[in-house]
């Protein structure tokens, strides 16, 4: 009885990493393979490559290998017997193992081929053999696609032999999983567990200026943020680098999709190969677009929305990938929050997914689920009212909106924030109260900055971040006094900052509040509006021409003239009497 004692050590080197347990001896005529995998959707097939008889003799021929052995080796039922000569030719021409089979001419001699393969065999030899024989398979001995209790798949009633166990072709196309492909001896009941180290992951993070933490993702980066319209919002994509040893080439593709409220800044895209998720990428040399990776922005819209891709045809050959400790592909870029941005809920989401090679024996791409982050922005709604009754709405009040430091003023078009601009020339936060109305008018003519209350008393701006702002009244409604101080407005948003957001927008933004000079207004998280009321008091009124005041002057003037005439007559009479 012929035996190949070293074949086990070669063929147990799996194309994908596995934990393998084989009993020392079993007397069963038929055996089972139990695959421990908690993921649904697999259809495992077991192809018998080599068949034979089982012996538990561990000392024959002076050998010292322990455990049962396979003897009287023949080709198994899973190999196409009509293609044996072509299979041998493919083995001989393979760069990795071709030299092992130079002296073999009879393709039907399975024992000789097994012996040649086992001679000084390595894991790479086993991988190459599995890839070649995969092209010459016929009907699988058995298959299973149903998990049993305990998150396992069980293939039963298998004759002894060596098996290529693999996922059915095309069964995982597009799924977040990788094809298994490994050779295992079945000389007893076998249990194995595929490891997920060869499946990459992808995460997306957005910078939030007030989130002063790291959490292993980089300072300020998390799942939820709020910004002003016009701001450049920083994003980060983090893809893990898997074990790619089973693949000749490894495709790796990020696809990032922006909401209509976000406009990609193409020139800010940078790609790095980093050690940790939170590494400061400025410590690394960015990869070269076109040389190290491909960037496609054709589907990114200039007015916001769309998508872009970053692709590696072969991640294995990218610079720095093989350096020790380089575990992640990190992409950074900025997107502008634009005038199309949703105010309040449902927010402005932005997501990414990763496609990756998942079939070591052929073409095929797996795909992760999307990872989403979200950006919010809000609206300030003001109402101008009469200070005497707090109800009467006032038209014609004019305001400008300052940032928290009184160093910039809001640029507003069609009721939306466009950005922030500096104060008029010659003025700063120290003397902004001295800016004449005419100067504001002149600035407004070129860059719209003035908000004017309507007949309903309404004024405001949409597209602001939460934070502190100052409203400065530059013109009062007719008949009312100008406010003598600016109004401090504080908008506060309760958002789910951190790394555990569940992807539901309603849990990302839960509350919005506002105060005006410490007086509470009304916040509405759903609409994203922060509503405040600003009062003006009426001024003192002076008499006007044609009114009662004029009549009063006329009457008083007449009385004074009449009094002067009487006094004059009396004085003339007194003179006459004195002369007599």
- pTM (two decimals): 0.74
- Residue 297, pLDDT > 90, answer yes
- Distance between CA 100 and CA 462 in Å, rounded? 74
Judged against a pLDDT cut of 50, whether residue 151 lies above it is answered with yes
* Better-scored residue on pLDDT, 302 or 55: 302
Model confidence band, residue 555 (pLDDT cutoffs 50, 70, 90) = very low
- Give per-residue pLDDT as tens, 317-356: 999 998 888 999 999 999 999 999 999 999 999 999 999 9
What is the token pair recorded at 470? 């100052």
Residues 6+ apart with CB under 8 A from 570: none
pLDDT tens-digit map of 556-575: 444 444 444 544 444 444 44
Tell me how far apart the alpha carbons of residues 403 and 464 are, in angstroms, rounded to a whole number. 10
Percent of the chain with pLDDT over 90: 62
Which has more confidence, 376 or 131?
376
Q: Which residue has 């890839």 as its token pair?
A: 131
Tokens of 81: 């017997």
What is the structure's pLDDT at 180?
66
Selection from 23, 340, 75 nearest residue 190 by Cα? 23
Give the pLDDT of residue 360. Answer: 74
Whether the pLDDT of residue 126 is over 90: the answer is no
Lowest mean pLDDT among 6-20, 220-234, 515-529: 6-20
CA 317 to chain centroid, in Å, comes to: 26
Average pLDDT of span 166-193: 73
* C-beta of residue 308 within 8 angstroms of C-beta of residue 300: yes
Chain-centroid distance, C-alpha 227? 16
pLDDT at 176: 62
Q: Token digits for 502?
A: 């569940």
**Rounded distance, CA 461 to CA 120, Å?**
76
Q: What pLDDT is attached to residue 242?
A: 93
At 128, give phi and psi (nearest 5°): -65, -40
- Mean pLDDT of all residues in 200-224: 95
Three-state secondary-structure class, residue 212: coil
Write the CA distances from 450 to 202, 416, 475, integer angstroms. 45, 12, 10
pLDDT at 23: 40
Residues 481, 483, 484, 489: what is their CA dihedral angle, to the nearest 10 degrees?
170
Share of the chain above pLDDT 70, in %: 82
Cα separation, 379 vs 469, whole angstroms:
12
Average pLDDT over residues 17-21: 34
What value, to the nearest 5°, has the Cα angle with vertex 407 and ends 531 and 495? 45
Q: Which residues contact 103 (CB under 8 A, 6 or more apart)?
A: 116
pLDDT of residue 177: 64
As a whole number, the mean pLDDT across the chain is 85
Question: Tell me: the pLDDT tens digits for 399-415?
Answer: 999 999 999 999 999 99
Residues in the chain: 580
Q: 464 with 409: CB under 8 angstroms?
A: no
DSSP state of 526: T
Q: CB under 8 Å, gap of 24 or more: what pairs does 287-293 form?
A: 287/318, 287/319, 292/318, 292/319, 293/318
pLDDT of residue 142: 84
Say yes or no to pLDDT of 261 above 70: yes
Q: How far is it, in rounded angstroms, from Cα 367 to Cα 365?
A: 7
Residue range 60-81: average pLDDT?
75
Q: What is the pLDDT of residue 576?
A: 42
Query: Residue 553, SS3?
Result: helix
Least confident segment among 95-99, 123-127, 304-308: 123-127
């Amino acid at each position: 009885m012929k035996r190949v004692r070293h074949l086990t050590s070669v063929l147990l080197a799996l194309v994908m990493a596995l934990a393998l347990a084989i009993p020392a001896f079993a007397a069963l005529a038929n055996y089972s393979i139990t695959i421990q995998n908690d993921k649904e959707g697999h259809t495992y097939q077991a192809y018998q490559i080599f068949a034979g008889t089982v012996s538990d003799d561990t000392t024959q021929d002076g050998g010292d290998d322990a455990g049962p052995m396979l003897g009287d080796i023949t080709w198994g039922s899973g190999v196409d017997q009509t293609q044996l000569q072509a299979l041998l030719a493919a083995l001989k021409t393979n760069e990795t193992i071709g030299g092992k089979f130079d002296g073999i001419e009879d393709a039907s001699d399975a024992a000789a081929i097994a012996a040649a393969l086992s001679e000084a065999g390595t894991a790479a030899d086993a991988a190459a053999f599995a890839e070649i024989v995969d092209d010459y398979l016929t009907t699988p001995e058995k298959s299973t696609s149903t998990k049993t209790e305990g998150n396992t798949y069980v293939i039963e009633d298998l004759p002894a032999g060596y098996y290529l166990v693999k996922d059915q072709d095309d069964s995982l196309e597009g799924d977040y999983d990788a094809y298994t492909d490994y050779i295992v001896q079945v000389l007893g009941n076998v249990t194995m567990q595929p490891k997920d180290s060869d499946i990459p992951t992808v995460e997306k993070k957005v910078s939030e200026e007030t989130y002063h933490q790291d959490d292993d993702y980089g300072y300020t980066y998390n799942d939820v943020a709020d910004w002003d319209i016009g701001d450049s919002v920083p994003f980060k994509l983090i893809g893990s680098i898997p074990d790619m040893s089973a693949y000749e080439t490894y495709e790796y593709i990020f696809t990032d999709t922006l909401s209509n409220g976000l406009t990609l800044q193409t020139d800010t895209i940078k790609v790095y190969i980093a050690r940790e998720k939170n590494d400061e990428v400025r410590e690394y040399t960015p990869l070269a677009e076109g040389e190290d990776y491909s960037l496609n922005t054709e589907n990114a819209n200039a007015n916001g929305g769309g998508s872009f891709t970053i692709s590696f045809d072969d991640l294995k050959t990218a610079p720095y990938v093989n350096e020790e400790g380089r575990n992640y592909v990190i992409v950074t870029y900025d997107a502008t929050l634009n005038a199309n941005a949703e105010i309040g809920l449902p927010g402005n989401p932005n997501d990414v997914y990763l496609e990756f090679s998942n079939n070591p024996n052929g073409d095929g791409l797996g795909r992760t689920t999307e990872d989403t982050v979200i950006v919010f922005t809000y609206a300030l709604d003001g109402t101008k009212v009469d200070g005497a009754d707090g109800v009467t709405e006032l038209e014609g009040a004019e305001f400008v909106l300052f940032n928290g430091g009184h160093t910039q003023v809001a640029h507003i078009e069609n009721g939306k924030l466009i950005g922030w601009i500096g104060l008029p020339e010659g003025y700063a936060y120290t003397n902004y109260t001295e800016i004449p109305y005419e100067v504001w008018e002149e600035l407004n003519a070129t860059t719209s900055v003035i908000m004017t209350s309507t007949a309903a008393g309404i004024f405001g701006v949409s597209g602001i971040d939460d934070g502190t702002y100052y409203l400065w009244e530059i013109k009062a409604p007719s008949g009312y006094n100008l406010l003598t101080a600016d109004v401090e407005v504080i908008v506060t948003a309760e958002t789910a900052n951190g790394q555990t957001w569940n992807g539901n927008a309603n849990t990302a933004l839960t509350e919005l509040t506002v105060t005006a000079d410490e007086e509470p207004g009304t916040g509405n998280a759903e609409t994203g509006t922060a509503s405040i009321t600003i009062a003006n008091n009426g001024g003192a009124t002076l008499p006007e021409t044609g009114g009662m005041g004029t009549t009063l002057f006329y009457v008083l003037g007449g009385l004074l003239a009449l009094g002067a005439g009487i006094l004059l007559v009396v004085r003339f009479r007194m003179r006459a009497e004195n002369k007599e």
